[in-house]
A and B are shown apart, each in its own frame.
Chain A
């Protein structure tokens, strides 16, 4: 995403295309039919993607804005209520709750995958035997669906006969109720999610590490910098673009957390893991309050957009693009 945003911005300024692509059809009257043919060619290449994106992304996006201004149960005709849905959402303590639960998830998940992913990436970036195999194993959960991850972890963390509590019992530890306990439900989801995404973060950071010029690290070593010093003064600053990418993506995905929550706890127990998207889903398909759901989804989109924009603005302060 950083690449995308950076690139889009760069392109607005300078048309730095190679010469061949800059050939534009000349504007002489005799070439008119040729220009039309060129325009048709462009359309032929663009329409297969433009039509679905218009019909199934941009159109619904605008429609969601309109629905959010109505009261609608998906069946009866919608009635216009203006900004009532937004007013209700902003005053409803439940809204704060679902955002807080989502934040709880992000705050627990992000450090776990980042530090874990970094540690594995650093280890795999050394002369390790069998690193391709190791990398493959660490990456394996990434290709697994969230639903399977949620089911497997529900089973591993089963309070009565799950393998985790069974092993804990060997050491005389009485394991917690995990996803059945309001206090432990979110940590259970965080644990499962971190397991799934660790490999993704690891691969991105590893690519960043491999792009670092080893001579810089050697120079620091010659100057007497120890391992930790080299990590904090050389490696991490040079890794900051990859770190930035991981954080931006993780926050976007974190705010949208749903599949694993739906399959592990369904928002429970007692609403302890009711996150924003679970609330959107419940409002729409359980309570038939599609207007409010659309308002909440727009609110979520605005929050994600704001968080992303703030990060892009703030990146100058700490991201080093060498």
Chain B
């Protein structure tokens, strides 16, 4: 109908048709891209969904595959997890270690970063270089001597033994120093003119200005501790002191075929990180993105 009303010259019609063809092709491409990306996201998400479904299907893995939508979902696996094992204690251990590690790393990283950003001293570049070099040393190289060291101090199988090696990390120093270098030095000078010393400048000028970097470090430190495996595996021996990843790895040996329980434990392990991630997604992704830039 429209074609008869607007009878354009043949030349213009061709131009319009070409343009609409191009637009249609672009639209098709765009729709296709959306579909592919959504399917990809569903595929990426599926293992999480399957974990939850399995944890809600009692008796999973005993010769059967759970159905995609559990017919009679039950929290039995969770009840058994907390009843048969000191699982609440294990979750508490992980929370405690992750919280202390996070607070300690915020403190040790921020103070060191201030020295590297604001306090010139002879050999500072060399010292900073040594800090950075510690990031390249794999934990595996350190495990044997660390274990021997902490055993000599009587700290194997204690919270303190698990904590001590995680108190300081060069990554945090680097991250915060970069953030501090972006805080204008004029701010320090103004505070110094008002009679503020370094400790006050650090606390009242610098720290409030690097809050996003502190948030990023907090998330990473918490995540690093919450998910860490090798060192807790080595140093924490008794079941009441174990952390989530270690207990989960052990659960697998204990209940080789009881996937509902293993998956329930996995859900418990994922949830706190997921909560933090949903709150601080911006900082997490920004933190990763920044490490790759430059």
Chain A contact residues, CB within 8 Å of chain B: 1-8, 11-12, 17-24, 38-39, 41-42, 44-46, 48-53, 55-61, 63-64, 67, 74, 120, 123-124, 126-129, 134-148, 151-156, 158, 160-163, 166, 195, 198-200, 203-208, 211, 241-242, 245-246, 252, 255-256, 258-259, 262-263, 277, 280-281, 284-285, 290, 293-294, 297-298, 300-301, 304-305, 308
Contacts and interface: CB of A to CB of B under 8 A. Distances in A.
B91 interface: no
A48 B144 contact: no
B198 A45 contact: yes
16 contacts: A4-B132, A8-B129, A46-B111, A49-B108, A53-B134, A59-B149, A64-B145, A128-B33, A137-B45, A140-B48, A144-B273, A145-B226, A145-B244, A281-B140, A297-B138, A301-B141
Contact of A19 (B185, B276, B284): B185
A39 B122 CA distance: 10
Contact of B112 (A48, A127, A161): A48
Contacts of B134: 53, 57-58
Given A145-B245, A147-B248, A204-B288, A129 B142 contact: no
A242 B293 CA distance: 7
Contacts, number: 295
A146 to B, nearest CB: 6
Given A140-B48, A161-B61, A41 B270 contact: no
Interface in B18-36: 30, 33-34, 36
Contacts of A205: 292
Contacts of B230: 258-259, 281
B266 interface: yes
A300 B140 contact: yes
A161 B185 contact: no
A161 B40 contact: no
Nearest to B287: A203
A55 B289 CA distance: 31
A16 B147 CA distance: 42
A3 B50 CA distance: 39
Contacts of A151: 248-249, 252, 262-263, 266
Given A53-B170, A207-B290, A45 B112 contact: yes
B289 A207 contact: yes
A2 B136 CA distance: 12
A11 B173 contact: no
Interface stretch (B4-12, B72-80, B113-121): B113-121
Contacts of B244: 145
